[in-house]
Amino acid sequence: MVAAAAPAQVLGMKPEEVMATLEKLGDLKAKGILTQEEFDAKKAELLKKLV
């Protein structure tokens, strides 16, 4: 019998992961690598993934 594949993470990201990613994105924005618009888009995307 074949073992079932592990289920994919459906729930999203943990708050700690979201915060760490937002901090990294903030650093990129502060360095001029990301624009405010790019930062805002990624922030909105991350907040939707919160568990």
Q: Which residue has the tokens 């990301």?
A: 34
Distance of alpha carbon 51 from alpha carbon 47, whole angstroms: 9
- Higher-pLDDT residue of 49, 3: 49
User: pLDDT, tens digit, for every residue of 3-37?
Assistant: 554 444 445 889 999 999 999 999 999 999 999 99
Domains of the chain, by residue range, sit at 15-48
Distance of alpha carbon 36 from alpha carbon 42, whole angstroms: 10
Q: What DSSP string runs through 1-51?
A: -PPPPPPP--S-B-HHHHHHHHHHHHHHHHTTSS-HHHHHHHHHHHHHTB-
Query: Residue 33: its pLDDT value, please?
Result: 98
**Residues 16 and 50 sit within 8 Å (Cβ to Cβ):** no
